[in-house]
Amino acid sequence: MTQHATPAHTSITFLTNQPTLPVLAQVAVTFAVLMTKWSVRQRSRKQLRHLTPEQLQDIGLSREDAHYEATLPFWRP
């Protein structure tokens, strides 16, 4: 049996074209968005640790600001 993965954009387009989503689908979408936000936040904070002083200056952060942000847990905005 061959399984075909549906591209994410096709699934999202399908969902956004629906007038309402079933409750379980709403929970699943909310969960997926939360996991994505946490993942992006964690990667961004990890990358802050590796920026040079010049790069930090370009984005308007001091080394102390970057260190503080990088040490926050991923679930904290």
As a whole number of angstroms, the longest Cα–Cα distance in the chain is 56
Can you give the residue range of the structural domain that contains 35? 28-71
> Has residue 14 been placed in a domain?
no
pLDDT of residue 9: 82
Would 39 be classed as within a structural domain? yes
Q: What is the pTM of this model?
A: 0.71
Domains held by the chain: number: 1
Dig out the tokens for 52 from the structure: 């040079």
Say if 34 falls within a structural domain.
yes
Mean pLDDT of 49-73: 96
Q: Report if residue 41 sits inside a domain.
A: yes
Q: Is residue 12 part of a domain?
A: no
Q: Residue 77 falls within a domain, yes or no?
A: no
Residue 5 pLDDT level (bands cut at 50, 70, 90):
low
The pLDDT, as a whole number, for residue 4 is 62
Q: Is residue 15 part of a domain?
A: no
Residue 52 lies in a domain: yes
Q: Any residues with CB less than 8 A from the CB of 69 and at least 6 apart, and which? A: 45, 48, 61
| Of the candidates 40, 43, 53, the residue with the CA atom closest to the CA atom of residue 66 | 53
Instruction: Quick: pLDDT tens for 9-60.
Output: 888 888 878 888 899 988 998 999 999 999 999 999 999 999 999 999 999 9
